[in-house]
Structure 1
Amino acid sequence: MKNRFKTCFLSSFLILVGTCVSAQTELTNTVLEGSSFQPIESASIYVKNTTIGTVTNADGKFLLRVPDKYQKDTLVVSSIGFKSYKIPVNEFDASFEIYLDDDVASLDEILLVAETRPKTGNDIVMRALEELPENLPDSSYLQKGFMRHKERNKKEFKWLIESAITLYDSSFASNPAENLKINVDQVRKSYDLRDVDSLLAYTAFLKNRIKNRKFSKNNLRRDTIQTKSLVNAIKWNDNRINGLETLFQGKLNMVRNAGNPKALFGEDIMSKHQFKLDTVLVENDRKIYKISISESFEYVNLETPGVFNDGYHPKGWIYVYWDNYAIKKIEYELVAASKAQRSRSKTLYDTTINHKLILTYKEYQDNMYLNYVYYETPKLVNVRAVVNNPKTDIDESIVNKGERFYYTVQEILFTEIITDDAEIQRTLRQTWDADLFSPKPYNKEFWENYNTLLESKEEEKLIQDLTKRYSLFKD
């Protein structure tokens, strides 16, 4: 009787688990340009009137898990400058690719509108910043998302972290340093095979503590420093450059933090940026200004503690809705411009583009929420001198060039927005930890039901290679 009860209980449990796991539908397909058949990267795929969504990868492919209760809702595939594709979720057909046709409005018609509207790029951007209190959330909210942190040289991945994160913000009007929090909920992958110059990181760590800029790593001896101290210094340096709090609470969160006097889009925005109206595009039947970003008469400075992160010129694009001046998307680069920064960037990073940032927003309940983040920056990891081999005619500094220069890419896809105050308060009472770089136990059940960013073919190959090398190293 006892065994029979166990059997019945187990059967019921398995049926229940199977129901929970199968209570969602996986939608996968490829989004292409209708005219050129080229893949559309970062196209938005979402269920209308919900926060469920994802974006396409570099190959135009996507994977979206949709709970079955939304089977009769509308799936939308959209990208700025293209006509949207809409279909009920339960009629989605993955056997045919999705093609989006161009959709561009007439700039002349827009500029001839009789009503008083800003006509120049500078005026449109300033109006968009004035409207931020109306277009960004004015009350607290949570966002759930997926983050992929990749560090690589020109040949292979050296570091990979995939995490589920939660972001809390009390409102646009609040101080981000005090009222914006991040928690790392789960970790799916964490592989680190970097060749880190630990003395360099430790020197920077000590400089920050003792406030002595002239301190040099030549004054240090590796055998006198505890390994634990070196590890802590490396972790401190990683958080200083690529930590989640640095990304969300600092200048790079340029729309959310525009209210801060020293923000990139702060009070002195026009002394460091100029904006020129390029054309008017369409997305989901809404007109969008496409505006170029270029330099002004002052350099852009990020003022990162302990790092010469100044002397840049900006370039890129900003996309602003025509009807309510809400910022839809920003594509932003910081290019080394001052003599000192150009020399430093070429020597240490082999590039003059020091920061690439993409911020995409989605509208939900009449407010704009951050939807997708792409942040790329070169990183100083291993600066040990490479000496030419006297036994050969080969310049090893050239041979090793592809291995020496590292850069980091962080991608974040927010897949859920929570505005219920009771749930927000419950979540805030939990322990919060923004440490992206500490591994956590793998939770298989969690990840089976979580929306993530689909890897491109190149990424998939590089991740498989890193996983294999990491396994060999661990063994």
Structure 2
Amino acid sequence: MTKTNLFFLYQKFMRITLLLFLVLHANTSYAQWLKFVGSVVDIETNQPIPYANISVFNMPVGTCTNSYGDFMLNLPDSLARDRLDISCIGYKSRSLPIDSLIGNDTLLFLLEPKAYQIEDVVVVPGENDVHSLIKNVISKINNNYSRRKYFLEAFFRHRVYNIKENNRTVRLSEAAVSIHQNHYSDDRKKVQINEIRNSNNYAELSTSAGQKLLYTALGGNQNPIYRSLKVERLAQKRFLRKLSKNKHYSVSLKDISFFDDALMYVIEFKQESWEFLFKKYYTTHTYRKYRYYVNANDFAILKAEDIDISYNSQMIGMKNDSVGRNDFIQYRKFDEKYYPTYVHFYGMIPDMVAKNDTANFYMHEADLMVNEIARRRRDYDRIKSRNIMNKNTTLWDLEYEYNPEFWENYNLLLDHPLNPEYKKDLEFEEPLDKQFKQETHVKSRN
């Protein structure tokens, strides 16, 4: 081939490349967005349904309802011919054409409870007895969860409140985060904060040597995002194998329910005893429970829960039968694999040397809501090493440049609106918007 022919081929290639760029750019520029706002409600009780899934059929795009059953979801109009799925554990699922929902100011999705009495279930040894179910769950983990790394875009909210002051909110952090991970390793998890904003810190910090020593003993400077994501270990093969062999836990088939119209088993491990210096002690004041919601068809874990129960009324901040900590994670199926869609944490996270006395006892509540999942390498950019957040980096005193335009348009923030009472608690000195604009938030009530 002559140089002249090569030159003409090169020119033709460049013209085609330029044309494709212009077409793709035009499509992106003129893309329209569909905005859906609404609530999910129990049709029998008329009560809101929290943490229900709102997602596009078989696509890693969607959201969850907040604690009030409300949601907001923005979708590109290219998905108008797809279907929107509404589902929640214990309810019959609904699926509606997206184009049939366009034009409605507010959507109201009514879900019908779908329960199954465990007394009516015939337990067959070797088929659906609880020990066989656990073995099946463990053996199917490789089939149900991706062994490859995947990428999550999520909204994270961390609230700290003083239970000695009627649960008054004393600190708030909100962040848009990216997470690069796989299902099998916690050590390789990478978290990047894209945007963050913090309120002032109105918690009482302590200068006591004893409190500082306790803070260090508990781990100190724990990042609440990584701490919340620890609940993922519950659905890992290594943890389940160890738990199923633990002689200090009893296991039972606690309940049977439905999810996405499929039968679901609720399996519970309950702590009965503990061991110290090779001596066994039975639980009297506190105990732990692990609860698994398992799809009966493929034995996938749809939800895993870690709960600490206290019977010790003398413990600071605790009442009889109170929940001292509660973590859970929910999974959703896309392309034959399950991925996390929602993580909740309630308990204590040592990320400051706080006062712990008759007037102060701080609890932490965190939510991580996944907005989008990218599974193919070409669909996301790897998190660079310099942008990875350390596991011992706190959020509340982090320096940052506040981006008001981002927060005004951030879709997930609207999906999970802040409780007005929390906002009221924080605004006794200055508006929350003004607090967010400060470059650092070391202010506290020392």
Task: Give the equivalent residue in structure 1 for 2:19.
Answer: none
* 1:50-449 paired onto structure 2 within 5 Å: 50-92=59-101, 93-95=104-106, 97-105=108-116, 111=122, 118-153=127-162, 154-169=166-181, 171-173=182-184, 175-177=185-187, 179-199=188-208, 203-204=212-213, 237=220, 239-240=221-222, 242-248=223-229, 250=230, 252-259=231-238, 263=239, 266=242, 269-298=245-274, 313-315=287-289, 317-336=291-310, 342=312, 346-347=315-316, 353-378=323-348, 382-383=354-355, 400=359, 404-424=360-380, 426-428=382-384, 431-434=387-390, 435=393, 437=395, 438-447=398-407, 448-449=409-410
Tell me how far 1:430 sits from its aligned partner: 5.9
CA 1:194–1:129: 2 relative to 1, 3 Å:
same
Tell me how far 1:418 sits from its aligned partner: 1.2
Q: What are structure 1's unaligned runs of at least 5 residues?
A: 1-15, 214-235, 301-310, 386-396
Secondary structure of the 2:89 match is coil
CA offset digits 1:178-205 (Å, max 9, x no partner): x222122211444322211144587338
Q: Please tell me the root mean square deviation across aligned C-alpha atoms, in Å.
A: 3.5
CA offset digits 1:285-317 (Å, max 9, x no partner): 2211123342233379xxxxxxxxxx9522363
* Contact in 1 for aligned 2:39/2:48 (Cα 8 Å): yes
Pick the structure with more helix per residue. 1
Tell me how far 1:103 sits from its aligned partner: 1.8
Tell me how far 1:46 sits from its aligned partner: 1.0
* Contact in 2 for aligned 1:83/1:282 (Cα 8 Å): yes
Secondary structure of the 1:346 match is coil
Aligned mate of 1:451, from 412, 416, 422: 412
* Contact in 2 for aligned 1:184/1:436 (Cα 8 Å): no
Tell me how far 1:138 sits from its aligned partner: 0.9
* Contact in 1 for aligned 2:303/2:328 (Cα 8 Å): yes
Q: Report the count of equivalent residues.
A: 389
CA offset digits 1:312-338 (Å, max 9, x no partner): 52236321000110000123311247x
Tell me how far 1:453 sits from its aligned partner: 6.2
Q: What are structure 2's unaligned runs of at least 5 residues?
A: 1-24, 277-284, 439-446
CA offset digits 1:3-47 (Å, max 9, x no partner): xxxxxxxxxxxxx99x96983222111111111111111111111
Secondary structure of the 2:213 match is helix
d(CA) in 1 for partners of 2:32, 2:399: 30
d(CA) in 1 for partners of 2:325, 2:154: 22
- With the length of structure 1 as denominator, give the TM-score of the two structures: 0.71
Tell me how far 1:207 sits from its aligned partner: 5.6
* Contact in 2 for aligned 1:30/1:98 (Cα 8 Å): yes
CA 1:426–1:253: 2 relative to 1, 3 Å:
closer
d(CA) in 2 for partners of 1:138, 1:445: 37
- What is the percentage of aligned positions where both structures have the same residue? 19
Tell me how far 1:160 sits from its aligned partner: 0.3
Secondary structure of the 2:388 match is coil
Tell me how far 1:264 sits from its aligned partner: 7.2
* Contact in 2 for aligned 1:191/1:470 (Cα 8 Å): no
